[in-house]
Amino acid sequence: MTAATAPADFRTCPRTNLKIHAAADALIKANAVAATVALLIGGIAAILVLLTRWQAVHLLPADWFYRILTIHGMSMLIFFIIFFEMAILYFASAVVLNSRVATPRLGWVAFALMVLGALMTEATMWTGHADVLFTSYVPLQATSWFYLGVILFAVGALVVVFIFFGTLVVAKRERTYQGSVPLVTFGALTAAIIAFITLAHGAAIYIPTYLWSLGLMKVDPEVYRMVWWGLGHASQQINVAAMVSVWYLLGALTIGSVVLNEKVSRGAFALYILFISMASAHHLLVDPGLGSAWKIWNTSYFMYMAVLASMVHGFTVPAGLEVGQRARGLTKGMFEWLRKAPWGDPGFSAMIFSIVVFGFVGGITGVTFGTEQINIIAHNTLRIPGHFHATVVSGTALAFMGLTYYVIPLIFRRRIAFYSLAKIQPWLFAIGMLIFSLMMTFAGTFGVPRRHWDITFSGAPFDVQFNPAVNLVIGLMALGGLMAAVGGGIYILVTVWSVFFGERLPAGPLTGHGLPPGIATPPQPIPPGDHPKKATGTLVLVFVFLAAFIAYYFINWKLLSVVWRIG
Amino acid sequence: MHTGIDSPPRVWWLPLHGAERIWVTVAFAWCLVLFAMMPLWQLKGQQNPSGIRHKVEPTRYYQRVQEFIKQYQVGEEAGFPIVAPPPGSDVYLLAQMWKWTPILKLQKGVEYTLHLSALDVNHGFNLNPVNINFQVVPGYDYGLKIVPNAAGDFRIVCDEFCGIGHHTMVGKVIIVDSAAAPVAAPGGAP
């Protein structure tokens, strides 16, 4: 045994009995703190963007609006979410498998690179040297330092992906677990593989773009769009895979939900890996560079097999909750298992809202807008940000928030401060984001453009009149957004306060205040015996989902059929 | 039974149980419907983004738009030429920071081939209030066969960020009933 694996470097988690390597603890903490800082910056930017798009307030001037919008996109979609995912990769490898981190020192080098890259990028954006929005479409140009910052950040993330793979190898070789890796680790593995594919696309586009910004080569605008979205959209599938893993994880921690069928869940994860880089096509459906056969084949992820994967997880996760609850005696009727679930546990409520909003709003709108022809009435309108705020914010970010209420006691070993606020936080955030994303999508139905400072078009040569309903819808969107902002603010307050000023947990059993029920009163072990895998409640719910899906999908074909003939 | 953070039992390649089998089958069937709709709409539907696509030098496209304006101009509004090309013709629209040139005057119920391209950066064609959207990329000519289905005044909003004046980038399309349409003869001056 080397020094790195000496038992002194490990502690045993009192809740899960997992053996946690000190380096894993420290790297998880560092990445989680960095993620929260990025969330704070992105969140402040979000409020400023919202208060500008709300025409009644129209807060920022045009230059600062686009600057802050760029900052919002980069801070949230790149820095917050990837830092958090790095923490998840350390957790799902070293912690879940009782292993040491393969190369802790390299982990710190990667972290330093990511922080450096993030700071460099933030600096160029705040000083107005990169007003190019999140997508930085060529030939709109930012300073070279912007692209270099992104490259450094991505290299750091890539190193962490390799450390994750290395840790899996170490755990296997040192026999720290029995048999196959747990499902949560398998899900994180798919996220890591997708991250590798995605970051390869990132290198393939940001390195040429960096050289272009130095005047050393040319970059074709359409090729840029295609390869950039191989990063931009495929990276959202890292988020999906990580989020689904967190669903399984929170299900296990909060109510001891079971895995119905490893084959089905793992098969669904594998579908993500196989078809995900085709998602670039979603952004090119009404582009001049590509033909219909290419568009149809790619936008459908090989006949919607990645959509099938999400629909499968959308069933297996709640069905796992249901079967677990029923096995513990909550067998009455169709929905006792759900009614008597711990709705006051912020980890549980966040998980459920994440599943519901991701599926019903994010999933349905995503597939519909990603249809080749329907994209004509969706592309670059507010329908698109409406869609992805339902997936990546209400889905991924909310799931990560729920997980945080378990990370604080189990990894930071502190009690959760302001616990009563923490309990309502997922509710505020989820309902706010639900209203926000629905209204945003609805406004887009009237053709209201995204990424636009002023939809009264002051200074334009011709006036533009939107449907009068638009003002009301945008107002409601703003209210939903502000409600979510309050939820986000509470999350940051609770997290920062708990981590830096919170009460340390004593060694030994975890009891007392400031702990979610999944920790203070862990789910009872399932009594021995034969338990039927009955999931009728879930089956009813997924058919409600399917009905909503079918309705929305065909309503959009109807909306499309009345516009001008185009061919 | 085990949770997602436990290693599964040694043998986990097991058949699906009832509800799971039902859902996976139904979801798979729905995915096939989703897929079939797109080729089907290509055959039977009237709105498809296929178009005629080729690369074009931005300056060459700019010249083509100027020729087009010269050929069919019928008037001027707010400093923009109004152009009324004959039915069935190729129509050229130029996007640049931060204007759409020219103003198009087209007839209802008649087919035109609308060409879109940009001089400088990416722009977005958003026809208001119809809600038709296309990406306009410099270096690429996107030719779309269009048939306007209502008379009236329409606006083209730019829906791709193109710099500080993005919000002022509004163009105009006038659709007239075919019967009443004054159309310039080829080569005609305003």
Provide the ipTM: 0.94
Average pLDDT of chain A? 95
For residue B127, the chain A residues in CB contact (below 8 A) are 447, 564
Within a 13 Å sphere around the CA of A427, how many CA atoms are in the beta-carbon half?
A: 9
Residue B188 pLDDT class (50, 70, 90 cuts): very low
- Residue B190 pLDDT: 39
DSSP SS3 for B112: strand
Does A66 contact B47 at a Cβ distance shorter than 8 Å? no
Does A290 contact B26 at a Cβ distance shorter than 8 Å? no
DSSP SS3 for A214: coil
CA distance A379 to B142: 16
* C-beta pairs of A325-332 under 8 Å, 24+ apart in sequence: A325/A255, A325/A257, A326/A531, A326/A532, A326/A534, A327/A258, A327/A526, A327/A527, A327/A531, A327/B1, A328/A256, A328/A523, A328/A524, A328/A526, A328/A527
- Residue B1 pLDDT: 85
For residue B139, the chain A residues in CB contact (below 8 A) are 220-222
Is B10 an 8 Å CB contact of chain A? Answer: yes
Point out the residue among B4, B23, B169 whose CB comes nearest to the CB of A182: B4
Is A560 an 8 Å CB contact of chain B? Answer: yes
pLDDT tens per residue, range A60-69: 999 999 999 9
Could you give the C-alpha distances from A369 to A121, A307, A363, A372, A418, in angstroms and in order? 31, 13, 10, 8, 41
The stretch A205-213 carries a mean pLDDT of 97
The stretch A110-125 carries a mean pLDDT of 98
B15: preceding bond cis by omega (within 30 degrees): no
Q: Is the pLDDT of residue A6 over 80?
A: no
Does A445 contact B168 at a Cβ distance shorter than 8 Å? no
- Residue A4 pLDDT: 46
Is B115 an 8 Å CB contact of chain A? Answer: no
Residues 164-183 of A with CB under 8 A from B: 177-183
CA distance A527 to A525: 6
Identity of the residue numbered A567? G
For residue B168, the chain A residues in CB contact (below 8 A) are 457-461
Q: pLDDT above 90 covers what percent of chain A? A: 91
Name which of B177, B179, B175 is nearest B152 in CA terms. B175
Residues 193-212 of A with CB under 8 A from B: none
Is B8 an 8 Å CB contact of chain A? Answer: yes
CA closest to A538 among chain B residues = B19
For residue A546, the chain B residues in CB contact (below 8 A) are 26-27, 30
The conformation of residue A462, written as its DSSP 8-state character, comes to S
Is B124 an 8 Å CB contact of chain A? Answer: yes
- Residue B189 pLDDT: 42
Token look-up 């030939």 returns A139
Whether the model clears a pTM of 0.90, i.e. scores above it, the answer is: yes
Does B131 contact A289 at a Cβ distance shorter than 8 Å? no
For residue A229, the chain B residues in CB contact (below 8 A) are none
The stretch A289-306 carries a mean pLDDT of 91
Neighbours of A200 (CB within 10 A): 16
Name which of A208, A274, A204, A198 is nearest A236 in CA terms. A198
Query: Exposed, middle or buried: residue A287 (CB in 10 Å: 0-12, 13-18, 19+)?
Result: buried
Residues 82-101 of B with CB under 8 A from A: 99
pLDDT tens per residue, range A28-49: 999 999 999 999 999 999 999 9
Q: Is the pLDDT of residue B185 over 70?
A: no
Point out the residue among B1, B47, B158 whose CB comes nearest to the CB of A376: B47
pLDDT tens per residue, range A356-412: 999 999 999 999 999 999 999 999 999 999 999 999 999 999 999 999 999 999 999
Closest Cα in chain B, distance from residue A402 (Å): 17
